[in-house]
Structure 1
Amino acid sequence: MGSFKLGKMTMRSLFGTPETVLYPVVEPKRHANTRGHIENHAPQDCILCGICMKKCPANAIVVSKPDRTWTIDPFRCIRCNECVIACPKQCLSMHMEKSDASKEHVATVVEIPESEKDREKRLAAEARKAEAAKAAPATAPAASADENVQLSPEMEAKIAAMPPEKAAKFRAACIAKAKKEQAAAAPAAASDEVEVVFPEHVAAKLANMSPEKVEKFRAAWIAKKMGGGAGAEPASKPEPAADKPAAAPVQKVAVPELPAEPKELRVPRDLEEKLKLLDPEKAEKFRSAWLAKAKRDAGL
């Protein structure tokens, strides 16, 4: 029996067709769902959104908006078809043919043509920047001179790229902000130049404060003094005249503290609610006993 099977297999292999295909002489059969390579078949519809690049798990796709190019690396692509499914414009497709064999690592680059709408936007933006650049040298120094505020070169370049109306509003806002900062810094600079002499009791309190609180108190004291407040004191007190007699020393008298008035004891509210449910005589006895105990506990 075994010899019969062996002979049958031998005759089949000698006179039958081979099970494999002589590739590449004979092309293999392609099925409908065969995944060969990704191709951007409609570059004129591509909007360079980059969704395919984000969806690619192998990072095989690179989308460049400045260069307007769509690049795919066939050696990194795993043919998962995620980019084809995610493309909002249906520009990508999966072809059944495999990529050509190559000894070099070559990526496929597709140039995306610029649409008429994008070209009009780009030309309008370039014209607006050119007009702003021409008008900026004539208007910027005058505006800065009127406000006595100089803007940084980076800010001037940023303003030059804006439309004229928006640039004027933005410049005015920057100048107003700079003036506010100068006004806020002026009192601090003035306080550094003023010599302050605090009274002894004030100096004793300041000795126990933190440096930040002392600086705030000093600034407030100077502002009050410069504003002519009631509590302002001169930096140096004038010396008394020679013919004027010196004032007699003031004697300090200790005032004894008055005893605090005893607090009135009352029955708690929740206890009063319970006493209302009892007989009036029993409730009065219980109230008197509770108040007497409370006075003993308080030492009254």
Structure 2
Amino acid sequence: MPLATGPAADQASAVKKTRPAGTPPRGVRGRRPAGRHNLHGWLFSAPFLTLFAVFMLFPIVATLLMSFTDFGARHVTRPLEAEFVGLDNYVELFADDKFRTALFNTAYFVVVGVPVTVLLGLLVAVLLNNGIDRARTFFRVGFYAPVVTAIVAVAVVWRFVLDPSDGLVAGLATELGTNAPDFLGSETWAMPSLIAMAVWRNLGTVMVLFIAGLQAIPTDVREAARLDGAGAWQELRRITVPLLRPTMLYATVITTIGYLNVFEEPFVMTQGGPSDATLTVSLDMYREGFNFFHMGYASAMAYVLFVVIMGVTVLQLRLLKDNTR
């Protein structure tokens, strides 16, 4: 390629020679130093990091350390006097019949409650998205209202509804000429009653997630399936459910985590009874830590529950992720 010659080339050469060394070209602004930029970011993040360290990170680390000690009420003012016991709390935990009962009850609550909640949420979302044209917003608000209602208030209302003498169910049974069972006082019916209440309360969250997923499905796919002669069931099975797998994964994971931490329902409605039929891990942890002040033992229980939640979540992510490929 021939070199540029003439007055323009001479002028450019003169400007280049007169520009001081290290001066950036014209029109190009100097960049801020990386250290100063990072400092500004850390300053803006400082309020959150401070709150996180004080109210999240410190309690997590402290609880982990407490799980290896005999920390009790006498150590609240003198925490450094707690004696290190190693893995004794964990060994004692798995030898405790009450903890094994609580673990089984929690698993029962999750295994039954999560599929029912997710499937009913999907069914309601499909009906509200496709089957109902009028008052759709009214039904959405109605199904979601229990989610934003205080769980203690919901549990108290359900306790009165299921009361065997003056409750709503008892009144309906009397009108039908029969007697309603003592739902919360029966070892057979207590846990299913709590599951029914939990499903009713969490249905709205799952429904909203599935409605968002349904509205993200391209209409062209549905129309093509209908033109090919697909019915409502085939469209749901072959089109809707496969395209909703990411939403179903998210709904299943968050519902499972919430059900593994179930506490308010048995605490308000049954106090873990009858005969520990509704005792959950979180409720047992609360009793050991705040009723009996076995805080080291309760901390070990908390970390066992944490490991269970992590294991179940990873398993769900792996299984459902493989199915979406």
Question: TM-score per shorter chain, which class?
Answer: under 0.3
Q: What TM-score comes out, normalization by structure 1 length?
A: 0.21
Which has the larger helix fraction? 2
Which has the larger strand fraction? 1
Q: What TM-score comes out, normalization by structure 2 length?
A: 0.19
Higher relative CO (CA 8 A, sep ≥ 6), structure 1 or 2? 2
